[in-house]
A = this chain, B = another copy of it.
């Protein structure tokens, strides 16, 4: 809607792209606000300029709230049938290790290219780093669970030895050692 019809394809000219971005971004956020008011619904819009700047609108106080609802929605729809950690693991198993990742980053940052890294490159790197974070998040629960298991085993062995030696123990009436496994573990990961 302007002096002439424009095709919806990437605008090459850097300058007019910036102008269009500014105008249409403003328009989009305005429309979002109108929709939320007119129809009494929750709307969130997030825009990342390719220079990393963030523009957003949210009908509720914080966008985080809508994001949470989105997550709930998505999570609720994917069956919680399988072990969450296993799912996550297979999903991210093919990514680089954190070590490899850091090496890649360092290598890239040393490249003496004209303008350094392209936006596309940076986006790719960011995604790789994010994947590594996902791995870490998944492994957190795994490691804690394993550590707990090893401690439980130690205790079991010590108790056994003690019994063999026929000694009274103050520890037998402590709360029973519950194993953490399966569903419980999936729950921990989910949280």
Chain A residues within CB distance 8 Å of chain B: 6, 8-11, 17, 20-21, 24-25, 27-28, 31-35, 37-50, 54, 56, 63-74, 119, 126-127, 130, 133, 136-137, 140, 144, 147-148, 151-152, 154-155, 157-158, 162, 165, 167, 171, 174, 188, 191
Contact = CB atoms under 8 A, between A and B. Distances in A.
Given A10-B39, A24-B39, 10 more contacts: A10-B40, A20-B39, A21-B35, A21-B38, A21-B41, A41-B49, A43-B48, A65-B127, A136-B191, A165-B167
Nearest to A37: B8
18 contacts: A8-B33, A8-B38, A9-B38, A10-B38, A11-B38, A20-B38, A21-B35, A24-B38, A25-B35, A43-B46, A44-B46, A54-B73, A64-B74, A144-B144, A144-B188, A154-B155, A154-B174, A158-B171
A96 to B, nearest CB: 18
Contact of A70 (B32, B56, B167): B56
Nearest to A187: B140
A69 B122 CA distance: 13
A47 B158 CA distance: 57
A184 to B, nearest CB: 11
A191 B144 CA distance: 12
A48 B69 contact: yes
A46 B63 CA distance: 10
A11 B136 CA distance: 47
Nearest to A62: B74
